[in-house]
Amino acid sequence: MAIWLVRAGAHGEREQAALDKGMAIIGWEDLPNLTAIKTRDALAQLLKETYQTEGPNKLANWNGQLWAFRDRIKKDDLIVLPLKRRSAVAIGRVTGDYVYQADDKDSFHTRPVEWLRTDIPRSAFGNDLLYSLGAFMTVCQISRNNADARIQAILEGKASVTSHASR
């Protein structure tokens, strides 16, 4: 089981929809359905064609995030969603594969999620985990400092296991 940070908009604009609909939702609204994309190179080409004014470094970064969202995240992995509209963190379990929702203009690129907790106070997380949750990216794996065991403990209502780095 892996732990993934998945944001719901730069200003939290998709977070309530994500919680209400039971899904992780990312942006990139200009991109079509990614289901038919078979390789990272094909995704890179699609990004280059879609976002012609963006630089190669940004496109490479987006390629990694989108590929992770579509292919690296697996069923039963945990999604951590730091909420921007209230001082809390939501954690959910991925229940299925990438889904493109053509009929929902605000939720095109999604993963089904069973939200296990939507009210965890930020104070439950050690500073090192909070720094990881504050990462610049929309999608990234959280693995440093024993994050999986510590986040699982928080999810179970236990005190977070202290990492060696935070002692």
Residue type, 4: W
- Stretches where the chain sits below pLDDT 70 are 159-167
Q: In the prediction, which pLDDT does 159 show?
A: 66
Q: In the prediction, which pLDDT does 106 show?
A: 72
Instruction: Collect all residues with Cβ–Cβ distance below 8 Å to 38 and sequence separation of at least 6.
Output: none
For the question of whether the overall pTM of this predicted structure is more than 0.75, the answer is: yes
pLDDT tens digits, 44-54: 999 999 999 99
pLDDT tens digits, 114-123: 999 999 999 9
Residue type, 65: Q
Bridge-based pairing state of the strands 139-141 and 78-82: unpaired
Q: In the prediction, which pLDDT does 51 show?
A: 97
Q: Which CATH class is domain 3-155?
A: alpha beta
Sign of the torsion angle spanned by Cα atoms 48, 31, 9, 89: negative
Whether the Cβ atoms of residue 142 and residue 132 lie closer than 8 Å to each other = yes
Residue type, 13: E
